[in-house]
């Protein structure tokens, strides 16, 4: 690589994993790629900005000008690293790929910021990866034993070494050879001197879409990234599909991994994707409204107001209100000038942290029976503080409705969930959970109801249409890196409530 910008953290950057409660699932990562684009790096930076919600720890872009690869990576947001003409000027060429991340495997730190780059015998090789390789530790140990030297602790680097050690003649065949050894989830954008390769795991767990802007072909984690640059969404990259695009504009599609029943992550509908994206053929916004409507059918409530927990609970709350006939009101006001709530030295300071981000609309909720709508409950700590805040504001009753089933299992496919022992639904049945958050009532949408809301007839237990392991414990791939004890614990329906 000709240049690498290794930035120290911005002055106002606070590590996102110092989240007060770990009470939201962290939104995996986001990838974007452009080939045959006059301003490939600028388009990539804009695309990454639209995907910022998927990863706020770090961002990186690698470009290729036909001769050399260039890279710029930094901790913090896209705008903090790629907003200047000087930054984009360091990344020339008609092909570029970018990545925004939260660390799932490998931890934080600049050496793990993607795209990762290596000089192989065939030339430069850059890869941006959304997902998680569930046998990365086993593969890494084998590669190190054979002499591979790793420069990062990211599971993505395993793919690079597998490609480097493959004996197949072409880079595409070597990538296929490498991915056949990999288990887990991946949406990949790869750059080589011959062009760009985009690939999605055989189950399609992680999302990836293809677009066009003039002569340029684009790839992104979500369709909204195309909207912001004026590009056209062509289609989703199919599960197990590998697309090769060269500098002449030729597109080659192959399915080298055989056929499998797709299982895209259903949490994309619930929370991860931006509401203005399309996922699995459906508008995410409309799907979330339908989830809220189904929740109202399954768990109605006598109340005066429907109040969303902003911002993730808003579309579901609109659907719940429309279905129930109860008024939708902004009973909680969110400050958009406060990031995540961070670890503080005392309970008082932690509670103040929640109030800096969310504040009750006291004049609206006082004396009212309210139904709070949120997308999920993870540890339950933030939920309990919001219920308490509503009571302090004078609400006469506070009911809680959740637009997803109980999150009782950890994710091993690229979502940074807390360990299972810290998931509230893994420790408690429904009534103890209600008591924990101190709500007057608590209800979650059923797994079948969630499926119906996103366009299915219900969950087919023999062949689920989505990856829903965080709700059901039904993991669609092997989990090689987990010990047998860990695998058994991951699939237990409930721990002893007395231990919570």
166 compared with 493, residue with greater pLDDT: 166
Residue with tokens 């893994």: 426
The CA–CA distances, whole Å, from 8 to 11, 60, 459 equal 9, 13, 47
β-strand partners of 265: 467
User: Of the ranges 105-109, 186-190, 403-407, which one carries the lowest mean pLDDT score?
Assistant: 105-109
d(CA 427, CA 490): 12
Q: Is 475 exposed, middle or buried (0-12, 13-18, 19+ CB in 10 A)?
A: buried
Q: 431 by DSSP, 3-state: which?
A: helix
pLDDT of residue 261: 93
DSSP single-letter state for residue 476: S
pLDDT of residue 8: 35
Please answer whether residues 480 and 438 qualify as being in contact, where contact means their C-beta atoms are separated by less than 8 angstroms.
Answer: no
Which residues have a catalytic role annotated? 29
Nearest Cα to Cα of residue 439 among 470, 494, 477, 400: 400
The CA–CA distances, whole Å, from 426 to 89, 134, 387 equal 50, 21, 21
Could you tell me the pLDDT band of residue 427, with boundaries at 50, 70 and 90?
very high
Please answer whether residues 311 and 456 qualify as being in contact, where contact means their C-beta atoms are separated by less than 8 angstroms.
Answer: no
CA angle 256–260–263, rounded 5-degree value: 120
d(CA 238, CA 240): 6
Please answer whether residues 96 and 36 qualify as being in contact, where contact means their C-beta atoms are separated by less than 8 angstroms.
Answer: no
Please answer whether residues 197 and 244 qualify as being in contact, where contact means their C-beta atoms are separated by less than 8 angstroms.
Answer: yes
Token pair, residue 382, equals: 């933030």
Nearest Cα to Cα of residue 281 among 204, 217, 213, 216: 204
Please answer whether residues 201 and 184 qualify as being in contact, where contact means their C-beta atoms are separated by less than 8 angstroms.
Answer: yes
pTM attached to this predicted model: 0.88
CA angle 487–18–24, rounded 5-degree value: 55
The CA–CA distances, whole Å, from 412 to 114, 136, 183, 420, 487 equal 19, 11, 11, 11, 11
CA count, 13 A, side-chain hemisphere, 183: 14
pLDDT digits (tens, 9 = 90+) for 246-285: 999 999 999 999 888 999 999 999 999 999 999 988 999 9
Could you tell me the pLDDT band of residue 50, with boundaries at 50, 70 and 90?
very high
The CA–CA distances, whole Å, from 495 to 242, 264, 427 equal 41, 28, 5
Sign of the torsion angle spanned by Cα atoms 131, 135, 141, 142: negative
- Domains with residue ranges and CATH for the chain: 4-262 (3.60.20.10), 288-458 (3.40.50.2020)
pLDDT of residue 357: 78
pLDDT of residue 105: 54
Q: Would you state the torsion angle of the CA atoms of residues 417, 423, 424, 426, taken in this order, to the nearest 10 degrees?
A: 130
Please answer whether residues 412 and 370 qualify as being in contact, where contact means their C-beta atoms are separated by less than 8 angstroms.
Answer: no
Q: Across the chain, what does the average pLDDT equal?
A: 88
Q: Say if residue 15's pLDDT is above 50.
A: no
Q: Is the peptide bond before 115 cis (omega within 30 degrees of 0)?
A: yes
Token pair, residue 276, equals: 């203005």
């Amino acid at each position: 690589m000709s240049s690498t910008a290794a930035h120290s953290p911005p002055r106002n950057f606070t590590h996102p994993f110092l989240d007060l409660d770990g009470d939201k699932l962290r939104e995996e990562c986001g990838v974007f790629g452009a080939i045959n684009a006059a301003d490939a790096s600028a388009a990539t930076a804009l695309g990454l900005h639209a995907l910022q919600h998927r990863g706020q720890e770090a961002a990186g872009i690698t470009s290729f000008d036909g001769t050399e690869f260039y890279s710029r990576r930094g901790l913090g947001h896209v705008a903090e690293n790629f907003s200047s003409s000087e930054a984009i000027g360091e990344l020339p060429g008609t092909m570029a790929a970018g990545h925004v991340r939260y660390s799932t495997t490998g931890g934080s730190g600049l050496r793990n910021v993607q795209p990762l780059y290596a000089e192989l015998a065939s030339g430069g090789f850059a890869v941006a990866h959304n997902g998680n390789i569930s046998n990365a530790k086993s593969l890494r140990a084998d590669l190190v034993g054979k002499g591979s030297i790793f420069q990062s602790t990211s599971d993505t680097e395993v793919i690079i070494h597998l490609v480097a050690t493959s004996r197949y003649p072409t880079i595409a065949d070597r990538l296929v050879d490498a991915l056949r050894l990999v288990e887990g989830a991946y949406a990949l954008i790869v750059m080589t001197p011959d062009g760009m390769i985009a690939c999605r795991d055989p189950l399609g767990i992680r999302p990836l879409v293809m677009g066009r802007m003039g002569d340029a072909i684009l790839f992104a984690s979500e369709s909204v990234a195309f909207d912001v640059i004026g590009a056209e969404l062509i289609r989703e990259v199919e599960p197990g599909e590998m697309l090769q695009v060269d500098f002449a504009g030729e597109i080659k599609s192959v399915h080298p991994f055989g056929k499998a029943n797709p299982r895209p992550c259903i949490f994309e509908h619930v929370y991860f994707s931006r509401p203005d994206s399309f996922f699995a053929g459906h508008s995410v916004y409309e799907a979330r409204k339908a989830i809220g409507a189904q929740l109202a059918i399954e768990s109605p409530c006598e109340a005066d107001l429907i109040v969303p927990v902003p911002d993730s609970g808003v579309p579901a709350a609109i659907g719940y209100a429309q279905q129930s006939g109860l008024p939708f009101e902004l009973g909680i006001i969110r400050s958009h000038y406060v990031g995540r709530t961070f670890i503080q030295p005392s309970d008082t300071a932690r509670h103040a942290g929640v109030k800096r981000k969310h504040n009750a609309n006291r004049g609206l909720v006082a004396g009212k029976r309210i139904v709070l709508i949120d997308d999920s409950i993870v540890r339950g700590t933030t939920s309990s503080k919001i219920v308490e805040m509503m009571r302090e504001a004078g609400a006469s009753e506070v009911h809680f409705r959740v637009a997803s089933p109980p999150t009782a299992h950890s994710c091993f496919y690229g979502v940074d969930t807390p360990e299972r022992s810290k998931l509230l639904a893994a420790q408690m049945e429904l009534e103890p959970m209600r008591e924990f958050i101190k709500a007057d009532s608590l209800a979650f949408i059923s797994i079948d109801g969630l499926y119906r809301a996103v366009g299915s007839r219900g969950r087919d237990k023999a062949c689920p249409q989505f990856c829903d392991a965080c709700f059901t414990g039904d993991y669609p791939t092997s989990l090689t890196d987990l010990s047998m004890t860990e695998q058994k614990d991951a699939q237990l329906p409930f721990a002893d409530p007395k231990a919570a």
